[in-house]
Structure 1
């Protein structure tokens, strides 16, 4: 089994080799998989992210969720608690600024923040996932640390978004890893 660093390199390379057409097809398929799904239908406050580094494109999903009347939130690197995320209301007019990794995030507006415990659904990015619902992120631990604030019986659902090529047979798991309830790709929705 490859270690976590090796897996990140291998799976990111797979993802980056996808054609523009494959990326577009996956983004459209993602909307088809998620809009009728029970977790999305039941949710009002949904956190997601803006795609980066050949991640499955969330642009069409964002538009579809807005059209469905959902309230969306984007992650922001926590300004005072290093290694954590906070979530801010996201609308078409929300000003975005690059964070220290160059990823666009909302310009901080404390009046627009929602505690993670009040989110109904969080769509997470990932580098790799397995059939047990484990996710491998970029290695910074931002999502794992932030999601650890949710109690095991909390109602918030966690769904990873990925390309099919990001699935691996089994991920090496660490005690701090936060498992997902489901993973959605352009072709399927896997529940765990």
Structure 2
């Protein structure tokens, strides 16, 4: 963890975290993405597990090298699609190089690919703490999706972040679900929340 961020409410923490993430992405983005790719074997995934990642938005740590490394290890990949405002995410099977279409909020996803249920979910975030709580963007898509996936069966949840996105405590709400792992360019953190 680098310079500590004082306790803030979610709105203020989002603003500070976005700025911090933007700065580190400019300075370390490609190297950090390559380091994440080297962690593919450290996530403890079952053989041929379906892993849902995400298409990176500006400033997010790039999950694509990690996803390519997972595909090379025999895992099936998927990307999320927003099918309705205020709904849950639908995960569509995807392989690197396949065509994508633009979704809401600047996302990208397969246009017409079969939906899959992931065994592992790579989750973007603005900030995280060692308990496994993440600060998202405020739309609630991952909160609603995680609630459904965790209720329906066991899923491994892995937050992807730059190490500098760690904070002492993420403010939480009753519906927040802690992640199992956080993967940064410095390694994998097993959270206290699981």
TM-score under structure 2 length normalisation: 0.88
Where in structure 2 are the equivalents of 1:35-184 lying within 5 Å? Answer: 35-42=40-47, 44-79=49-84, 82-109=86-113, 112-115=114-117, 119-151=118-150, 154-184=153-183
CA RMSD of aligned residues (A): 1.8
Kindly report structure 1 stretches of 4+ aligned residues shifted beyond 6 Å.
none
Offset at residue 56 of structure 1 (A): 0.6
TM-score by length of 1: 0.89
Residues of 1 paired with 2:119 and 2:57: CA distance?
24
Pair 1:42–1:129, CA change in 2 (3 A): farther
Measure, in 2, the Cα distance between the counterparts of 1:92 and 1:134. 29
Aligned equivalents of 2:135, 2:27: Cα separation in 1: 25
Structure 2: unaligned runs, 5 residues or longer? 1-6
Counterparts of 1:77 and 1:128, CA distance in 2: 22
* C-alpha displacement of 1:183: 0.2
Q: 1:78 to 1:171 in 2, by over 3 A?
A: same
Query: Structure 1 regions of 5+ residues with no counterpart?
Result: none
Residue 12 of structure 1 is matched in structure 2 by: 18
How far, CA to CA, are the matches of 2:40 and 2:127 in structure 1? 23
